[in-house]
């Protein structure tokens, strides 16, 4: 019976695209972005990588989870130019991203919290970020 229960739980987790650490393989859009910038993030839980669009450029990196704390490695970023308000939003976002220390999920909402207590609130989208 215990074996079947474990299999059932594993099946449910995989069916929901939810990993055991609480992150999932979905794309999220930042809700409180500066200058109404379109900023996204997604996590590849198998390879421990993150990626997204930061207003103008694409970004990517690795992450670690230890003792419930989230640490995002340095982000690689493409080098395109865009309108000044979007470039400013992108710079601010990438600075905040480097300071992320924890996350929480509630329904389709993902919140990343920085070491300064700033909250980056994301909402799940239906798009793929690949």
Residue with the two structure tokens 């989870």: 65
How is residue 68 written in tokens?
Answer: 């419930």
Residue 11 is assigned to a structural domain of this protein: no
Residue 98 is assigned to a structural domain of this protein: yes
Domain count, the chain: 1
Q: For residue 104, what are the domain limits?
A: 19-124
Distances (CA, A) of 9 to 4, 18, 38: 9, 11, 35
- What's the pLDDT score for residue 26? 93
pTM: 0.80
Residue 4 is assigned to a structural domain of this protein: no
CATH of the domain at 45: 2.40.128.270
Question: Please, where are the H alpha helices in 1-130?
Answer: 2-15, 84-97
| Rounded-to-integer distance, Cα 49 and Cα 60, Å | 7
Residue 53 is assigned to a structural domain of this protein: yes
- What's the pLDDT score for residue 23? 85
Average the pLDDT over 60-80 and give the result. Answer: 94
């Amino acid at each position: 019976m215990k074996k079947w229960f474990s299999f059932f739980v594993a099946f449910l987790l995989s069916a929901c695209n939810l990993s055991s650490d609480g992150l999932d393989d979905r794309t999220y859009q930042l809700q409180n972005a500066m200058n109404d910038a379109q900023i996204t993030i997604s996590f590849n839980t198998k390879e421990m990588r993150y990626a997204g669009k930061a207003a103008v450029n694409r970004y990517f990196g690795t992450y670690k989870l230890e003792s419930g704390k989230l640490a995002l490695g340095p982000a690689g970023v493409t080098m395109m130019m865009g309108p000044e308000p979007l470039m400013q939003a992108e710079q601010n976002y990438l600075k905040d991203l480097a300071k992320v220390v924890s996350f929480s999920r509630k329904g389709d909402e993902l919140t990343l919290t920085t070491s300064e207590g700033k909250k980056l609130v994301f909402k799940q989208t239906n798009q793929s970020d690949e």
